[in-house]
Structure 1
Amino acid sequence: MNDLSRKQKILQPIIPNELMPMNFEDRDDTYVSMALISDCSIIGEEIERLKFEQVVFQNVTFIDVSFRYVELIDVIFERCDLSNSNFGDASIHRVEFKESKLVGLNLSDATLRNVSFSHCNANLCSFGYGDLKQVKFDTCSLRHADFYEAKFHLVDFKESDLYEVNFTGAALKGIDFSSCTLNQLILSPESLDGCIVTSEQAIGFAKLLLGLIIKE
């Protein structure tokens, strides 16, 4: 294992062995902790500055939900549907998104630290102007996702579909795309400085950025 791989180890959420089952509607205030929220829908909620700490969401569907400035600490989303939810300006620390549908989820201007996305459908997800450090996308679909002007530090993309992802203004130095499917990325030439790709992917970038016609 090289030094970069060691540094990219994601800290997992710290979750107690026993959590109290609860309904979201029964919360006392804007702070929810040590709770299991499962097999339900959260509908039409628009709340700013919610805080979830040591919370597990299982099989939860979020419908017409806006949680701007939400703070997530030691949280797991498992088999959830957060499509088109608004988590703009969120602060997200030690959080896992597992086998979840995140289509159109707004995470613009969010701060992500030690966050993993595993086997998720994150098509059209927005990370614009986000600050991502120690973040991993493992076997995810990120088609048409937006990372405009995002900051990356130790971000790992593994075996993910990056069709028409927007990386404009994002510095990709040290990002390893070699296991991913890349097609028609939206970016500027300087964004590619120092990123890691296969020889086949490099040919694709040459066609995209230089307008070359490569005879194969």
Structure 2
Amino acid sequence: MAWITVKEPFATPPRLTAIGPGDPAFPEIEGTRNQRWAEVDRDGTEPLPDDLATLRLESCALVGVAFSHLAGAEIEGHWSSWAACDLSGARVESLRECTIADTKLTGTDLSEADLSDVVFERCVLQLTSLRMARLRRVQFSDCTLVEVDAYQCHMEDVSFDGSEITDLNVDRVTAERVDLRGVRSLGLQAVGRLDGCLVDEAQLAALAHDLAFAVGLDLERPHDAER
């Protein structure tokens, strides 16, 4: 840990090409099982097939689509926007140049996934797995992260502006330019080394217990807590 003079932006922002519901691009969904292909309405009125082994979403804008029933299917997204979708319980293999807004990611499996140039806006990540995932130029804006498992995750140019973080497992995380200054609340678990992460001085008081336990300090329990 050291005092540093920050050159803004500390974390390089995602590099995105704009895409939205009015874009003429249409999603193509490839299923490796039986070589099945399917088309899905961008407004979510037509449900996704439930027998796909792989979903590749390329250059599309999805609104209100649920992926939670695709147990076992591996989802890949490139140059796409996802709004008000439900990725709960889904398995995500990779995301590149994607904007994901107002979407649920409860129990979503992103372990060992590659995420590059991705923006999460107002999303809820609860019991989400980022174990051994690789994040590069990823932004969490006004998101809620609860009990997210980032064990051995590599984060490079990641920011959390306006987000609330509760019980984030950072065991063996490796970080380069991870900006935590903008979080509204910050709770960490399994804290070891946090090289490459940036906080401001005002956040240190909230982190005092996590940092004390990380270096092996015993703390006397407050007397009123023993009653």
The reply to whether TM is greater than 0.5 is yes
The match for 1:65 is 70
CA distance 1:175–1:5, shift in 2 (3 Å): closer
- Superposed CA deviations along residues 111-145 of structure 1, whole A, max 9, x for unmatched, are 01101100111122111110100100000001111
Distance 1:163 1:79 in 2: 22
Distance 2:81 2:38 in 1: 13
Q: How many residues align?
A: 208
Question: Structure 1, unaligned stretches of length 5 or more?
Answer: none
Question: How do residues 10-159 of structure 1 correspond to structure 2 at under 5 angstroms?
Answer: 10-12=15-17, 17-20=23-26, 29=35, 36-40=41-45, 42=47, 45-66=50-71, 68-87=73-92, 90-159=93-162
The match for 2:13 is 8
The match for 1:193 is 195
The match for 2:206 is 204
Q: TM-score, normalised by structure 1?
A: 0.80
Question: Structure 2, unaligned stretches of length 5 or more?
Answer: 1-5, 221-227
**Helix, strand or coil at the partner of 1:97:** strand
Identity of aligned residues (%): 23
4+ residue runs over 6 A deviation: 21-25
The answer (yes or no) to whether the contact 1:50–1:67 under 8 Å persists in 2 is no
The answer (yes or no) to whether the contact 1:112–1:131 under 8 Å persists in 2 is yes
The answer (yes or no) to whether the contact 1:24–1:37 under 8 Å persists in 2 is no
Distance 2:124 2:135 in 1: 19
**Helix, strand or coil at the partner of 1:133:** strand
RMSD of aligned alpha carbons: 3.3
Structure number with bigger Rg? 2
